[in-house]
């Protein structure tokens, strides 16, 4: 899953890397290898534990945003929110591409969406088909 969610990943990784959240080491390693092969930079991040109080809500099954006492959005909380909807026995990865999704205009490129993550996922999928 690719998404931008909160843009909070930028607080940790700036515009240098996308955040990779994965439930298994094997999935993380294969996605990181695909990213390296395509030149897309990703950094593995930890998931918020499922019992983290920041995920609890009095009015919903799970909170998709940290409580008001938290001063800013939380990329780990956002990834844990998505993970909540995937069965535990299914390997799951979330690529937080917020800080990589847009580029500023410069002498070599125009401003706009980058398509970040597509090349890595295509590389990963074609590698899975060959395995």
* Domain extents in the chain: 2-130
> What does the pLDDT read at residue 27?
95
Residue 107, pLDDT above cutoff 90: no
Q: How far apart are CA 130 and CA 124, in angstroms?
A: 10
pLDDT digits (tens, 9 = 90+) for 45-86: 998 777 777 788 888 888 777 677 766 678 888 888 888 889
Class in CATH terms, 2-130: alpha beta
Q: Taking the model in full, what pTM does it have?
A: 0.83
């Amino acid at each position: 899953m690719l998404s931008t969610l909160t843009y909070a990943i930028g607080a940790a990784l700036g515009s240098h890397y996308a955040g990779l959240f994965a439930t298994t080491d094997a999935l993380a390693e294969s996605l990181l290898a695909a990213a390296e092969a395509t030149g897309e930079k990703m950094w593995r991040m930890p998931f918020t534990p499922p019992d983290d109080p920041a995920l609890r809500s009095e009015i919903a099954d799970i909170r998709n945003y940290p409580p008001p006492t938290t001063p800013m959005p939380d990329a780990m909380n956002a990834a844990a929110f998505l993970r909540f909807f995937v069965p535990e026995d299914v390997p799951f990865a979330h690529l937080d591409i917020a800080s990589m999704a847009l580029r500023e205009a410069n002498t070599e490129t125009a401003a706009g969406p980058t398509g970040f993550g597509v090349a890595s996922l295509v590389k990963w999928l074609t590698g899975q088909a060959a395995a």
